[in-house]
Every structure is written in structure tokens, then in C-alpha cells.
Amino acid sequence: MTHELEYDVPVLIVGAGPAGLATALELARHGIRSLLVERRAETSQLPRATAVSTRSMELIRMWGLEEEVRAAAIDASWLMLQCESLARADAGTAIQVGMPIPEQTVLLSPVEAACAPQDHLEAMMLSHLRAHSGGRAEFATEIVGVDNEADGVHAVLRDGASGDERVVRARYLVAADGAHSTVRRALGIPMRGPDHLAEVVTALFRAPLWDVVGEHRHGIYSVIRPDAMGLFLPAGGDDRWLYGVYWDPEIERAADFDEERLLQMIRLGAGVPELEPQIERIGAFSFAAQIADDFRRESTFLIGDAAHRVTPRGGTGMNSAIHDGFDLGWKMGWVLRGWADPALLDSYERERRPVVEHNVVRSADPNGSHRDVGRELHIDLGERIEHVWLPGSTGLVSTLDLIGPGLTLFTGPEGEAWVSAAAELGDAPPLVVRCLDLVGARALGIRLGGALLARPDGVPAEWWPNGADCERALRAAVESCTRGARPFAELAAA
């Protein structure tokens, strides 16, 4: 039975993975109601991904979740240790995988990349979302129909238990429903790129492997022993691990990797013949590196795996999904709050596509996990302003912590004219002025009498070397932001 209309909401989000949850959290931060629906009965119970990048941790810090995520993270270095077996970790070789160790990020970010399984991260994000009055999440609910128009969406939702159907009207629909997106298929948007690049079987198990590796704690171990060649990844507390092995469909089947065979391979890979792993789940999946032709049709947007599929190489899948959700969330929040023209939403695909194209291509490379940290870290951090520690009322604070959901105007000594100009503007979007000391201003490239205007993602919208005609210059920059014009960082690089 389908009801004519049961719910009217500004944003309907389909899919409660990292992409959908990030969108909902960012909308809630902007005071926008959303309805998040998920066909599963609960968030994922599988670790899936474990690499939480530096930029993802910056967003998690902004949402107020850093301490909670850090407390559940695994103390491990993001270097791949290549070794004959885990028992021979002391003779292994550490290889860069594009993820920084703390010593490499201390001057670039207030946070460190984390090793935290996706299922734990999703649970924390959902709990935080439900603490916001505007965040509503419904599980065991799937989308079965979409009427997508320029002025809004009517979606048919089905209850997984009763089979009852209802219609939800939303101004915008966010499709975060994964690689085999129902919404993307309904809109007829193709995915381009190779599939079945590799076939992998994984085993989720528990065993005391930290005792085996000792002080050699890493986020990924590549075992090169021929009869147990595969990857070991820590996947949570209580010695929870993932073991993955490639298989060749021309000579074997995924079903050939039964529990007994995998137990033996885990023992060989660990280098501990008497090890008694407790296998909890065995699964198989294919590598794909694909991207959708479009990330938007009328009032519907694709994010995360619905927009782009990557292999596990490089660990960019979950992080790209989180970044998609944040980017679309703040822009959608601005539009729905009346702070910006709807044209701002056109910048979502324009700004996200080059980054995810890089990640898709990297993931298709058989050596995609082996990357220099310098290049990949800057791709992860994007074009946001520099992180600089500044004195605050309760201790040091990062320049990134000073950025809010609106615009932020940074100025330094002799910046009084900019403070006066900001006071003459309206409150849509809201603008906060941050007056820095000489050291902080110089670190952001702000000269005496100059200023820098930053968007909610920390990307410089405009930079002025001096205070000439401040009010006119600031007003023009704010209007440019609300129309989705290319930010200063893009123009400077062009």
C-alpha cells in the first residue's frame, strides 16, 4: 500500500555508509533537517576499510568526534610492512603507501591519520547524528521509485519488515547507496571504467597477532611467502584482523577458499603453526575502478561509491566518500539556508571530480598502494588554508579550528579596515572575523593590512595583499562565493 505523502523533508539521503552519514552530519551542522534511509537493518558490521586519512580526521575533528574515533583507533603506523611472515616482522621492509606517519603531518595538520575500521566509524557517526534534532535515520527501508524533477524529488520508500510503501517529498535527493546504486540505475547514469581487475577472498578473524608482530605495528602487512601470499590488516580491538588473498578465476573458484584452507593460510602467513584463528566471516569481492558520467541529475546527486568505485589500493574509497558528503553537505546547507544561489551546487561535481578521477586511476594501478606520501598527502588535504597553531584562551588552537559553517575572514595587524568592512555586510552567509597576530598572519600569507577569506572547507575564496577599498572588495568576494564561482585557490593555480 502506497500513501500519497507521508513525509516532507529538505534532503533525503539514501544509504547510511560513510558518504551518507557525512552528508547528514554536515547538513545538521548547518541546521538543515534530513531523512537518512538504509535498506540494511543496521550499519555495517564489517570493517571494510580501515584507513582514515588526515583530511578525514580533520573533518571528524570539526564534527566533534575526534576523541571518540581516536580512542577506538588502533595504534599502528601507516606504512606497509612487507615480510615473509608476521613472525619475521623484525626482518620486514617498510614501504610508503601514501598515508603519512605522525612525524610527517605534525607541521601540516592538527590531527594524524588513523587506523580505524569502517564499521566502528559508521556507528560513531550515526550516534552523533541522532544527537542532532535535525538528523533522522531509518533502517530496513529501501528506495523503490524515484520521480526526479528540477524543483524536487518524490521517492517511494518500502519498509523491509511490513512491505508497506510511502512517498517522501524532498527538495534534494542524495544517492549514497553504494556501488550498485538503485538511484543511479533509476536515473540511467552509466559508470565507465574497468571491472573485475582482480578477485579477492577475505577472512575476518580473531587471533593474537599483535603478540606475534611485537613492536612492529603497522596498518597493513604484505606477506610474500609463496604458499600464503596475502595481506593482513588490523581491523579493531581484541585482535580482530582481516586476511585477504588474490585468486585466479581461470584456475579456481572463490568457493575453493573454504574455512579450513584459509585457516592453514593464516597460520602460514602468521608464521605460527599452532595458531588457532577464530574465523567470523569469509567473503569475496572484485576490484573495479569506475566513475559515473554525471554526479548530478536535476535534484539528485551521486556521492561515494554511487559516483565512483575504487579498488582498496591506496585506501581512498572511504575517505573519498566522506569528503564527497562534506562538500555536498555544506553547499546544500548554504542553498537551503538561503545563503547562496542554487548555482553553488554545480560546483560539487566540478570540484570533486578531479580528485576522485585521480583516486580511480591510482586504484587501477597494480602498484597503486605504493605512493610517495608528499604527493598523496597534499591531494588528500586539498586546497585548504595552512594549519598553524595559535594561542587561544584555553591553549593552542589550529587555524583550521577557527573555520565555521559560514565564511571566515582572516586578517592581521593593521586589519581594522577589514573588520569595519565585515560589519557592514549582511548575515547571509554569516561571516566571522579572525584577527591573527603577526606570526599567524604571516603563516597564512597575510601581509600588513591584508586579509584572506575562507570557505567552510577552508579553501581560500579570495586573498588581498592590502586594505584598499575593503568593503567593496569583500562584498564582491562574498557574492562570488554564494554563486559558486571558482575559488581563489583554483584561479591562482590556473
CATH number of the domain that 89 lies in? 3.30.9.10
Domain total in the chain: 3
pTM of the model: 0.96
> Do 79 and 38 reside in the same domain of the chain?
no
Measured distance CA(198)–CA(109) in Å, rounded: 35
Q: pLDDT tens digits for 420-461? A: 999 999 888 999 999 999 999 999 999 999 999 999 999 999
Q: Which of helix, strand or coil describes residue 87?
A: helix
In 3D space, the residue among 405, 193, 186 whose CA is nearest the CA of residue 300 turns out to be: 186
> Do 397 and 377 reside in the same domain of the chain?
no
Q: pLDDT tens digits for 151-206? A: 999 999 999 999 999 999 999 999 999 999 999 999 999 999 999 999 999 999 99
Question: ω into residue 429 within 30 of 0, thus cis?
Answer: yes
Measured distance CA(170)–CA(181) in Å, rounded: 19
Return the residue matching grid coordinates 529501501.
142
Task: Kindly state whether residue 2 falls inside one of the protein's structural domains.
Answer: no
Which residues lie below 8 Å from residue 180, measured CB to CB, with a gap of 6+? none
Neighbouring C-beta atoms of residue 38, cutoff 10 Å: 25
Contact 139, 36 (CB under 8 A): no
Q: pLDDT tens digits for 269-309? A: 999 999 999 999 999 999 999 999 999 999 999 999 999 99
| CA distances, 313 to each of 173, 202, 370, 468 (Å) | 30, 15, 8, 49
> Do 266 and 363 reside in the same domain of the chain?
no
Beta bridge partners of 204: 242, 281
> Do 355 and 425 reside in the same domain of the chain?
no
> Do 187 and 204 reside in the same domain of the chain?
no
> Do 331 and 444 reside in the same domain of the chain?
no
- What mean pLDDT value characterizes the chain? 94
Neighbouring C-beta atoms of residue 3, cutoff 10 Å: 12
| Angle at alpha carbon of residue 285, lines to 251 and 370, rounded to 5° | 95
Q: pLDDT tens digits for 46-67? A: 898 999 999 999 999 999 999 9
* Parent domain of 160: 7-73+116-191+289-381
Q: pLDDT tens digits for 451-471? A: 999 999 999 999 999 878 999
Measured distance CA(94)–CA(91) in Å, rounded: 10
DSSP secondary-structure letter at 82?
A: E
Contact 318, 252 (CB under 8 A): no
Measured distance CA(36)–CA(29) in Å, rounded: 15
